Amino acid sequence: QKEVEQNSGPLSVPEGAIASLNCTYSDRGSQSFFWYRQYSGKSPELIMFIYSNGDKEDGRFTAQLNKASQYVSLLIRDSQPSDSATYLCAAEGGGSTLGRLYFGRGTQLTVWP
């Protein structure tokens, strides 16, 4: 069974701080990784994807990938109360499961003013 594990949280940070969300995956064949944000009662929305080792930045969000360690992270700089949500990490399956995303259980983030 291909697995994606996330730090369970919940994570609570003050406004303006850096929030760090972590994820590990079991399938060494996985090449692409995604972060989704899900507000309470809503559906997930894609905020970042990464497929190369290293960092990828988009505004206040930075995704980091280390394939040797099978580790993905998401940093949110200058956290805002509007960032309060559950963040889902997903890995695309390799081989015969190419195209299918495997999701972690999510990390709930609260940013307090």
Partner 1 sequence: DGGITQSPKYLFRKEGQNVTLSCEQNLNHDAMYWYRQDPGQGLRLIYYSQIVNDFQKGDIAEGYSVSREKKESFPLTVTSAQKNPTAFYLCASSRGGDYGYTFGSGTRLTVV
- Residues lying near partner 1 in the complex (CB under 8 A): 32, 34, 36, 42-46, 49, 51, 88, 90, 99-101, 103-106
**Please, is 53 exposed, middle or buried when counting C-beta atoms within 10 Å of its C-beta (0-12, 13-18, 19+)?**
exposed
Nearer to partner 1, 17 or 94 (CB): 94
CB of 99 to partner 1, least distance (A): 6
Cis peptide leading into 10, omega within 30 of 0? yes
The CB-of-16 to partner 1 minimum distance in angstroms stands at 29
